[in-house]
Amino acid sequence: MLKGLGACVALPFLDAMGVPGSNSRSPVRTAFLFMPNGVHPDRWTPATTGTNFAFTQQLQPLAAFRDDILVLGQLMNKNSLFKGADGHYAKSASLLTCMPIKQTVGDNISSGGVSIDQVIASEIGHATLFPSLEYGLDRITTGVDINVGFTRLYGSSISWKSPGQPMSKEIDPKLAFDRLFRPYVPGVKIKADPFKQSILDAVMDDANVLKRNLGRADQDKLSEYLESIYSVEKRISNDVNRAKFAKNITPDITRELVRLNHSIDDYVEMYSGVDVTEKTRLMLDIMALAFWSDASRVSTFMFGNSVSDRNFSFLEGVKGNHHSISHHMDKKDALEQYARISAWHVEQYAYFLNKLKGIKEGDKTLLDNSMVMFTSDLRDGNKHSPRDLPIVLAGKGGGRIKTGQHLTFEKETPLANLYLTMLQTLNLRHERFGDSTGSLSGIL
């Protein structure tokens, strides 16, 4: 703080405020990356625990990050198993809440709780322009999956602000970039200040028509949703918040803004709708830039919606879509394709880690000052099992996480124990999260 007579002004974090080698130099960023449909169950887990583990086929893309990651075994999302909860939806919708969801085919959805990313955002989000960012590749899926009796809405979100309110995700790289950074790209002309325009202006007529055709409960729900959008927009448009954020745009960040802006324009012109790898990496670039510029310290990313049927024939040796291949029936050829699809997802995760590791923050890197979780809601798509989930946690959490290990816990250890441990890493005091029974030993 700058202190004066009867007033004080918050300063941005300065290098001079940190002691070399201390853990206080930079804020800790947290990201959760979700891969649908599970992994090849026999080619994920390293054969040995400890620091000298060997990378399996699906983990091989992370070999260069041995000292930066934790491979975690035998964690289970217990509350995703309940009577009638077969299939994917009960697992994906509760992945970050660790609470049982409500079985429904309508819009009266409930995740059972607030997701871990939103718990974090509610406590530290006031410090940044955006409390949290939600990104993905696929638009919201509607309708009912008659095979399991769940609305497909559950498969479209892993981030929940409240049990009945999923966070909508941005899937367009250009819109995601413009929302955060368009006013700060040198040489780009802006017809109107995007921060002074509300997205609600464009949809309010439609919203009012919809309201007249809804029951009272749905009217209240819609009003609450629109108000939450407005509250975020109001924060973004606040001149003080914008001025504070603008101070974070260093020359290095400006160069990255220019590069990324050109890459997005090239993608829109040449590859849009075709190159899923390029789209994925653009979205991850934007996430990395958001963390670097301190636009936000919390983010989620969905490589696909639950039950994703993305066609991966662009990969050598793969013929068909992800969901179908995940139901491999233990056939050798299908399992090989399944492993290659999983490895592609891990490659994109490694790409993101490499971006963070290449950004210096004092005597650490942005990756050192982050916790980046990669997981699926299932171990094996063929069995729909949430036991022994495939989980990697990267980054040192500002120096508090002991990386470079493969750790295996007791069978069916609650996944929520990991989230509780992450909260402790952030110095957020919570006694419990979801169905947690305690923190994980060996990580901190």
In the predicted model, is pLDDT for residue 140 greater than 60? yes
Please state the rounded mean pLDDT for residues 420-437.
96
Q: How far apart are CA 101 and CA 154, in angstroms?
A: 9
Count helices and strands (H / E) in the chain: 11, 15
Query: Of the candidates 327, 286, 332, 288, which has an alpha carbon nearest to the alpha carbon of residue 307?
Result: 327
Looking at the predicted structure, is the pLDDT value of residue 13 above 80? no
What's the pTM value of the predicted model, to 2 decimals?
Answer: 0.85
Q: What is the pLDDT of residues 207-220, one digit of tens each?
A: 777 777 778 777 77
Higher pLDDT, 52 or 3: 52
Residue 93 binned pLDDT confidence (cut-offs 50, 70, 90): very high
Report CA 434 to chain centroid distance, whole Å.
18
Identify the residue with better confidence: 152 or 416.
416
Least confident of 32-41, 80-89, 366-375: 80-89
Q: Residue 415: its pLDDT value, please?
A: 98
Considering only residues 22 and 342, tell me which one the structure prediction assigns the higher pLDDT. 342
Cα gap 51→58, rounded to integer Å? 18
Contact 228, 160 (CB under 8 A): no
Q: Measured between alpha carbons, how far is 30 from 369 in angstroms, rounded to an integer?
A: 9
Cβ–Cβ under 8 Å, residues 410 and 386: no
Residues 6+ apart with CB under 8 A from 351: 281, 284
Kindly tell me if the per-residue pLDDT of 16 is higher than 50.
Answer: no
pLDDT tens per residue across span 353-412 = 999 999 999 899 999 999 999 999 999 989 888 999 999 999 999 999 999 999 999 999
Whole-angstrom Cα distance, residue 161 to residue 98?
A: 14
Which of 117-131, 174-188, 229-243 shows the lowest mean pLDDT across its residues?
229-243
pLDDT at 413: 97
pLDDT interval class at 190 (50, 70, 90)? low
Q: Residue 298 pLDDT > 50, yes or no?
A: yes
DSSP state, 387?
Answer: S
Q: What is the mean pLDDT of residues 140-149?
A: 85
Measure the CA–CA gap between 267 and 273, rounded to whole angstroms.
9
Boundaries of every domain in the chain: 22-189+247-425
- Third-level CATH fold of 22-189+247-425: Alkaline Phosphatase, subunit A (3.40.720)
Nearest partner of 286 among 316, 314, 263, 252, judged by Cα: 263
Contact 134, 172 (CB under 8 A): no
Q: How many CB atoms lie within 10 A of CB 381?
A: 26
Share of the chain above pLDDT 90, in %: 64
Mean pLDDT of 110-122: 96
- In the chain, % of residues over pLDDT 70: 86
Given a contact cutoff of 8 angstroms between Cβ atoms, the answer to whether 99 and 415 are in contact is: no
Residue type, 217: A
Could you tell me if 54 and 48 are in contact, meaning their C-beta atoms sit under 8 angstroms apart?
A: yes
161-189: pLDDT as tens digits: 999 999 989 999 998 998 888 888 888 77
CA distances from 1 to 10, 95, 127, 434 (A): 5, 39, 14, 36
Residue identified by tokens 């509780």 is 420
Report the pLDDT averaged over residues 407-436.
96
pLDDT at 15 over 50: no
Q: Inform me whether the pLDDT recorded for 85 exceeds 50.
A: yes
216 CA to centre of own chain: 33
* Per-residue pLDDT at 17 exceeds 90: no
365 forms bridges with which residues in the sheet?
Answer: 360
Give the pLDDT of residue 18: 45
Surface-to-core class of residue 423, CB atoms within 10 Å of its CB (0-12 exposed, 13-18 middle, 19+ buried): buried
The CA distances from residue 364 to 384, 397, 404, in Å, are: 40, 11, 16
Q: What is the 3-state secondary structure (H, E, C) of 216-243?
A: HHHHHHHHHHHHHHHHHHHHHHCHHHHH
